[in-house]
A and B are shown apart, each in its own frame.
Chain A
Amino acid sequence: MSHAQYIPLLIFLVIALLFPLVTLAIAKFFRPAKYNKSKLSPYECGIEVDKEPERNFHVRYYVVAVIFLIFDVETVFLYPWAVKYRALGLFGFVEMAIFLIILIFGYVYAWKKGALEWE
Chain B
Amino acid sequence: MEALVSFFSNYMLYILMGVTILTAVGVVYSKNAVHSVVALLLTMILVAGIYLMLDAEFIAAVQLLVYAGGIIVLFVFMLLLVALHKDEALRLFNTYTLISLGLVAFLVIMLAVVFFGTPFGPAPATVTNIVKGGSTEAVAGTLYSAYILPFEIASILLLVAMVGAIVLTKERGKS
Whether the complex brings A and B within 8 Å at their CB atoms is answered yes
Q: Which residues of chain B have C-beta atoms less than 8 A from A102's C-beta?
A: 152, 155-156, 158-159
For chain A residues 40-80, which have a beta carbon within 8 Å of chain B?
52-57, 59-63, 65-70, 72-77, 79-80
Q: B8-38: contact bitstring with A at CB < 8 Å (1 yes, 0 no)?
A: 1100100000000000000000000000000
A99 to B65, CA, bound (A): 19
Q: A1-44: contact bitstring with B at CB < 8 Å (1 yes, 0 no)?
A: 11110110010000000000000000000000000000000000
For chain A residues 73-100, which have a beta carbon within 8 Å of chain B?
73-77, 79-81, 83-84, 87-88, 92, 95-96, 98-99
Task: Say whether B98 faces chain A, with CB atoms less than 8 Å apart.
Answer: no
Q: Which residues of chain B have C-beta atoms less than 8 A from A70's C-beta?
A: 158, 161-162
At the interface, is chain B mostly helix, strand, loop or mixed?
helix
Is A80's CB under 8 angstroms from B53's CB?
Answer: no
Number of interface residues of A (CB under 8 A): 50
Task: Say whether B112 faces chain A, with CB atoms less than 8 Å apart.
Answer: no
Find A75's partner among B8, B12, B65, B141 (CB 8 Å cutoff): B65
**Can you sample 10 A-B contacts with CB below 8 Å?**
A7-B4, A52-B86, A55-B81, A63-B169, A83-B140, A95-B152, A98-B155, A102-B159, A109-B163, A110-B162
